[in-house]
Amino acid sequence: MAVRALVVHDERKQGTATGASPVPWPITVSFPVLGKPAMEFTDRVLKCSDCGAEFVFTAGEQVFFHDKQFKNDPKHCKQCKAKRARGTQRVRPETRTTCSECGTETTVPFKPTQGRPVLCRSCFQKQGRAQAAPVS
């Protein structure tokens, strides 16, 4: 089992509620990796690819990325990452078409391809029940 030493050098000071005192840099984390010299990670400022805001990629997050063997830096700030996690639903294009079975007008959440039957909801559910019924 590999033993690692984790050293965190924290020069940041607790700010006031009004944000009057600036945050000194850098935060440095270093640890030896299996006989190699200690790797140093310092806080880095990155730019969000969604909103363009700057965010801090902390030394601790870099250690986590290194441990998980992630190759790329994060591309999104915490707010944009949270927005994505909430799952803003993608809008699917609704296509109007005619059911191949009963001939009624219906909409489907995909673009139908030539030569394949398109069913309305009720015909699709009937077909599913017919396939699930045991054959005697």
Better-scored residue on pLDDT, 60 or 127: 60
Lowest mean pLDDT, pick from 49-53, 94-98, 126-130: 126-130
Residues 67 and 114 in one domain: no
Q: What are the tokens at 41?
A: 């990670």
pLDDT at 46: 95
Tell me the residue range of the domain where 39 lies.
Answer: 7-86
pLDDT at 32: 61
Residues 75 and 11 in one domain: yes
Residues 21 and 76 in one domain: yes
How far, rounded to the nearest angstrom, does the alpha carbon of residue 89 sit from its chain's CA centroid? Answer: 14
pLDDT at 54: 95
Contacts of residue 80, Cβ cutoff 8 Å, sequence gap at least 6: 48, 50, 51
Rounded distance between C-alpha atoms, residue 12 and residue 28, angstroms = 11
* pLDDT tens figures, 86-117: 876 666 778 899 998 899 999 888 888 888 88
Arithmetic mean of pLDDT over the chain: 77
pLDDT at 89: 60
Residues 15 and 71 in one domain: yes
| pTM (two decimals) | 0.43
Smallest CA-to-CA distance from 10 within 55, 78, 60 is with 60
